[in-house]
Amino acid sequence: DVDKEMEVLEEIIRQAEPSGCNDRFEFQCGGHHPKCISRLLVCDSYADCENAADENEQCRVYTPAGSTWEGRVESDTCTKRRPKEVRLTIDSYKIFDYLRSFPRVDGHTGDRSALAGLRPDEQRQVGGIHGSDAWRQHPVLRCSGAGRPCPPVRLRRH
Task: Kindly state whether residues 152 and 93 are assigned to the same domain.
Answer: yes
Task: Kindly state whether residues 31 and 73 are assigned to the same domain.
Answer: no
| Average pLDDT, integer, range 106-115 | 62
Task: Kindly state whether residues 27 and 84 are assigned to the same domain.
Answer: no
Task: Kindly state whether residues 94 and 50 are assigned to the same domain.
Answer: no
The model scores a pTM over 0.85:
no
Question: Mean pLDDT across the chain, nearest whole number?
Answer: 73
In the chain, the percentage of residues whose pLDDT exceeds 90 is 8
**59, 78, 95 - which closes a domain:** 59
Bigger pLDDT: 116 or 106? 106
**10, 29, 59 - which closes a domain:** 59
pLDDT band at 3 (very low <50, low <70, confident <90, very high): confident
In the chain, the percentage of residues whose pLDDT exceeds 70 is 65
> 11 lies in which domain range?
2-59
Task: Kindly state whether residues 126 and 80 are assigned to the same domain.
Answer: yes
Q: Residue 46's domain is classified under what CATH number?
A: 4.10.400.10
Domain count within the chain: 2
Q: Which range is least confidently modeled, 30-34, 64-68, 151-155? A: 151-155
Task: Kindly state whether residues 37 and 85 are assigned to the same domain.
Answer: no
**What is the SS3 string spanning the chain?**
CHHHHHHHHHHHHHHHCCCCCCCCCEEECCCCCCCEEEHHHCCCCCCCCCCCHHHCHHHCCCCCCCCEEEEECCCCCCCCCCCCEEEEEEEEEECCHHHCCCCEEEEEECCEEEECCCCCCCCCCEEEEECCHHHCCCCEEEEEECCEECCCEECEEC
**59, 80, 103 - which closes a domain:** 59
Task: Kindly state whether residues 86 and 153 are assigned to the same domain.
Answer: yes
pLDDT band at 116 (very low <50, low <70, confident <90, very high): very low
Task: Kindly state whether residues 84 and 9 are assigned to the same domain.
Answer: no
Task: Kindly state whether residues 45 and 72 are assigned to the same domain.
Answer: no
pLDDT band at 123 (very low <50, low <70, confident <90, very high): very low
Task: Kindly state whether residues 8 and 86 are assigned to the same domain.
Answer: no
Residue 149 has pLDDT above 70, yes or no: no
**What pLDDT shows up at residue 36?**
94
**What pLDDT shows up at residue 108?**
79
- Give the distance, in angstroms, between the CA of residue 5 and the centroid of all CA atoms in the same chain: 18
Task: Kindly state whether residues 89 and 132 are assigned to the same domain.
Answer: yes
| Average pLDDT, integer, range 73-99 | 78
Task: Kindly state whether residues 89 and 106 are assigned to the same domain.
Answer: yes
